[in-house]
Structure 1
Amino acid sequence: MEEIMTHLNSAVKLLDRAAEKFNDKIAISDEWSEISFSELQRKGKAVGTALAKTTPQGYMPAPVMVYLKKSISCLVCFMGAMYSANPYVPTAYDMPANRIQKIVDSLQGRGHIITDAQGMETLKTMNIPESMSIHIYEEIVETETDGELIEKTLNSVIDTDPIYIMFTSGSTGAPKGVTVPHRGVIDYAIWVAKTFNINENSILGNQAPFYFDNSIFDIYSCLLTGAKMVIIPETLFMFPVKLPEFVRDNDITTIFWVPTVMINVANSGVLSEIELPKLKNVVFCGEVMPNTQLNIWRKASRNAHTQTFTVRQKFRTYVLIILSTDLSRTVIHFRLVRLARICVL
């Protein structure tokens, strides 16, 4: 698999491979609908065609800001941006309006915005440059696909081109855009699939917002392996008692959540009442995980092969730490991710 992936110039070709291999298998579900790999490809190419036709010709790509509620529609737009050889910029309704405005300002009047009627009302209150094209999702997704244009556009991509621009929180002032290349995402997806044994039978329970880089774990291991990605309703994270129930009822095998969520679930006591027989991987990062709550999850995850979490230096270095699920001892292994380096400061 790794030899094949080294020849891919764009991460959206993971979707092309998955659509060919898995066709009508469900790729993603959210609280409103579900979509197969082939339908995700079809809609992505429709969006990509519309974007490619309205992108100024030239070397520089035109960022595609996606301003929608967290849903399958966002992922369709991400695929469409890639099919048009442009990087996507994930945003969401729960972002403060002033942060959205600062992100728009950072794009310097170049690119596209995809939104819907609800998002459009918010955008009307902002200063959006006339040079930016605004598309309504319900309209752009119905564009007739131009296969020749998509092929020509994709052939112009090289694997060091940016796949997305992730903006920081802006806690020190203006949000800063960080570009990540296709090659980095492809290599990361390969590592995730290999390390956590993700395959077409896996079901990923997505928690991370799409404007948070942790979501890359779920999105691209899904496209690489044919696993199903379940977008967990955001309201459930406000009621931790209901989360394990959702994981159990949806046969979720892998979760990658922030420690805050996992601590809340552990503190609720629900893990002592609900069995999670299908859960194989429990992955977390970004914050300190207290040992008390960690042991509650380790005890609840005895069906998992390992209790795992990652420590990451954003966008650059990945270090995996594996803990045994045997509570009588703690065995820790450090493993550096392939094609990465670590710098200890």
Structure 2
Amino acid sequence: MPKLLQDYASRQAELRPNAVAVTLGRSSLTYGELETTSSQLAWRLREAGCRRGDRICLLIPKSPAAIVAMLGVIKADAAYIPVDLASPPARLAPMIRISEPWGALVSADTVMLLDDILKEIGEHSLKIGSIERCRLEGRLFASCFDMSEVDTYPSDPPEYENTADDIAHILFTSGSTGVPKGVPITHRNVIAFVEWARNYFRLEPGDRISGHTALHFDLSTFDVYGTLSAGAELHMVPPQLNLLPHGLAEFIRSNGLTQWFSVPSVLNFMAKHDVVMQNDFPTLKRMLWCGEVLPTPTLIHFMQRLPHVRFTNLYGPTEATIASSYYTVPECPRDALTPIPIGTACAGEELLVLDAHLNEVPPGEIGDLYIRGAGLSPGYWKDPEKTAAAFLPYPGASNPKDRIYKTGDLARRGEDGLIYFVGRADTQIKSRGYRIDLGEVEAAFHSLECLEECAVVALPTDGFEGNTICCAYVPRQGQSVSPPYLRRQASRLLPSYALPTRWLAMERLPKNANGKIDRPLLRNLFRHDTSAET
């Protein structure tokens, strides 16, 4: 087992230096090139003053150069912070400020963004490096080195001081108060999942793996290091294809992908536009999803068309590193309302369904879902209060490092021993005196053929209702869909008290930077759109 994440790349550079490691469009790097360039960058960062434990922000679009930057930073014993390039500077500035980075690496595409962030931050002492082969300058900064200067540095990496318990990167995840939380992830955290996943999915040098999500999203951690661990090829998906379902399908075909990994909303998009043909994607071996519930009708759509593909549901929050449980679907579901379990804990992990007193609840009963094991982050960056609230001592443990993480999700253990996701604790609402799970309501609407996309949210009220149930929907192309029609169709699947009372037809549901449905934005739209009534 490797000691540090960069050992994956170094090992593959020894075994297969001329094999392609990562590609995007016409840009690609072999394992030998990736190893040499990232090592030279590490030497340059060290010479510039970067030391063990320092943090470096990456303002670099998804590209082979970004992988060089990631490896170069960790080879310098530092930790990288991938920046969400789609977020506004006013949102990014607090994240960067709290991270207290030593420096940043910038590309030609992000000079203006860095300028705007620095304007928000004010006075700073960041060392700025250019990932281009020329020095970059903005209104408020000038880079102190560029990649044309690293060629003279050694091709072997500097000697490391880091251990597996040092931080490899910090990811920012949305907080309930709207202030993003920094989640530090150690080398050991990532390696624990990657080692399990490489063995379970049988990753090998011949694999051609998708890189769909942005690099600030935790799913990309598996894309990158899973690929490097196996000596496979990482095929980065151009961001412009995200809104082109036919383009995504063609990307899988033309690149001969063997593994696809994305959030479910991407698969919904492809299914609703019917872009997958019978027995399509002949090289594809695995289709994985994580981050949201995949509607069962979408799963049926893919399993019927791709009988040669293995389908696996992964579950896990950012705080537990990529995923903590898995369920490989044994056969195509017969019922569109059949729930898909989140399954069984990955090696080194444990899923616990507990009551308010942290006692295990009996099978079949709903409780709070906790995670224990190798993937747990050390806690929230510079926020001991939030850390103490979410990362709790394991009941009865004598070792203070034995902790459990409260996911904020509700779950139950089935009679089959598998764990079933029930919903977010904050999506269990009361309306007109009834307890309602919004996920169940949404699943009913996903089963309707007339809809391309839908999302169900709730707004609190001061009246008897307690909460108003709201449904945003996108009709399928060529379909005439009205709220009364949707109510009639859904009433065959839901009790009357669970039917939405406010509706909003849209051309496309809003998505956040991670590709998930932006539910806070939807709630705001309903809050301010008084016409969204039946």
- Taking structure 1 as the reference length, what is the TM-score of the superposition? 0.90
Seen in structure 2, the aligned counterparts of structure 1 residues 171 and 51 have a Cα distance that, compared at 3 Å, is farther
Q: What do the CA deviations read for 1:149-170 (whole angstroms, capped 9, x no partner)?
A: 9433x1x110000010101135
CA distance in 1 between counterparts of 2:257 and 2:331 reads 19
Aligned partner of 1:220 in structure 2 is 225
Offset, 1:192? 1.3
Residues 25-73 of structure 1: per-residue CA shift (max 9 Å, x gap): 001111241111110111111211111112355xx61111000121111
The correspondence of residues 179-194 of structure 1 with structure 2, limited to 5 A, is: 179-194=184-199
What secondary structure sits across from 2:283 in the alignment? coil
* Alpha-carbon displacement from aligned partner over 1:68-98 (angstroms, at most 9, x marks no partner): 1211111110011011000110014322222
Residue 162 of structure 2 is matched in structure 1 by 157
Looking at structure 1, the residues matched to 157 and 24 of structure 2 have their Cα atoms a distance apart, in angstroms, of 27
In structure 2, the residue matched to 1:112 is: 103
Partner deviation per Cα, 1:194-229 (whole Å, 9 max, x = no partner): 111110011111111110000111101111111111
| Aligned residue number for residue 324 of structure 1 | 330
Q: Does residue 76 of structure 1 match 2:68?
A: yes
3-state SS of 1:124 partner: helix
Residue 307, structure 1, aligned to residue 321, structure 2: no
Return closer, same or farther for 1:183/1:157 CA change in 2, 3 Å cut-off: same
Give the match for residue 29 of structure 1.
23
* CA 1:205–1:56: 2 relative to 1, 3 Å: closer
Q: Which has the higher contact order (CA 8 A, sep 6+)?
A: 1
Does the 8 Å contact 2:43/2:158 carry over to 1? no
What pairs with 1:3-82 in structure 2 (closer than 5 Å)? Answer: 5=1, 8-55=2-49, 57=51, 61-82=53-74
C-alpha separation between the residues in 2 aligned to 1:75 and 1:138?
13
Instruction: After TM superposition, give the deviation of residue 174 of structure 1 in Å.
Output: 2.6
- The answer as to 2:277 corresponding to 1:272 is yes
Shift of 1:176: 1.6
Gaps of 5+ in 1: none
Cα deviation for residue 289 of structure 1 reads 1.1
Question: How far does residue 341 in structure 1 lie from its aligned partner after superposition?
Answer: 2.1
Matched pairs, number:
333
Conservation of the 8 A alpha-carbon contact between 2:212 and 2:236: yes
Taking the TM superposition and a 5 Å limit, the aligned residue runs for 1:275-294 are: 275-294=280-299
The CA deviation at 1:326 is 4.3
- Are 1:208 and 2:213 counterparts? yes
Is 1:254–1:280's contact at 8 Å kept on the other side of the alignment?
yes
One-letter code of the match for 1:314?
T
Matches within 5 A, 1:92-131: 92-108=84-100, 110-125=101-116, 126=119, 127=121, 129-131=123-125
Task: Report the Cα distance in structure 1 between the residues aligned to 2:352 and 2:64, rounded to whole angstroms.
Answer: 37
What code does the residue aligned with 1:322 have?
A: T
1:182 and 1:307 map into 2 onto residues whose CA distance is 28
Counterparts of 2:122 and 2:152 in 1: how far apart (Å)? 28
Preserved contact between residue 282 and residue 307 of structure 1 (Cα < 8 Å): yes
Match of 2:264 in 1: 259
How many Å separate the matches in 2 of 1:288 and 1:337? 18
Give TM-score, length-normalised by structure 2.
0.59
Cα deviation, 1:4-40, whole Å, max 9, x if unaligned, reads x1xx331101100011111110011112411111101
Partner AA of 2:97 in structure 1: D
Q: Show the counterpart of 1:197.
A: 202
- Spell out, residue by residue over 1:280-302, the C-alpha distance to the aligned partner (whole angstroms, 9 max, x if none): 11100111211111100111221
Distance 2:91 2:64 in 1: 23
Deviation at 1:189, TM superposition (A): 1.1
* Structure 1 vs Structure 2 CA RMSD: 2.2
Determine the C-alpha separation between the residues in 2 that align with 1:144 and 1:239. 39
Asked whether the equivalents of residues 73 and 80 of structure 2 are also in contact (C-alpha less than 8 Å), the reply is yes
Say whether the 8 Å CA contact 1:104–1:128 is kept in structure 2. no
Q: Does the aligned pair in 1 maintain the 2:183–2:318 contact within 8 Å?
A: no
* Contact 1:115/1:137, CA 8 A, preserved across alignment: yes
CA contact (8 A) 2:208 2:259 kept: yes
Answer with 136-145 or 177-186: which moved more.
136-145
Contact 2:300–2:332 (8 Å) recurs in 1: no
Please give the secondary structure, in 1, of the residue aligned with 2:260.
Answer: strand
Partner deviation per Cα, 1:251-303 (whole Å, 9 max, x = no partner): 00101110000001001111136711111111001112111111001112211
Q: Secondary structure at the match of 2:350?
A: coil
Q: Percent identical across equivalent pairs?
A: 23
Contact 2:204–2:232 (8 Å) recurs in 1: yes
Is the CA contact 1:162–1:181 (under 8 Å) kept in the aligned structure 2? yes
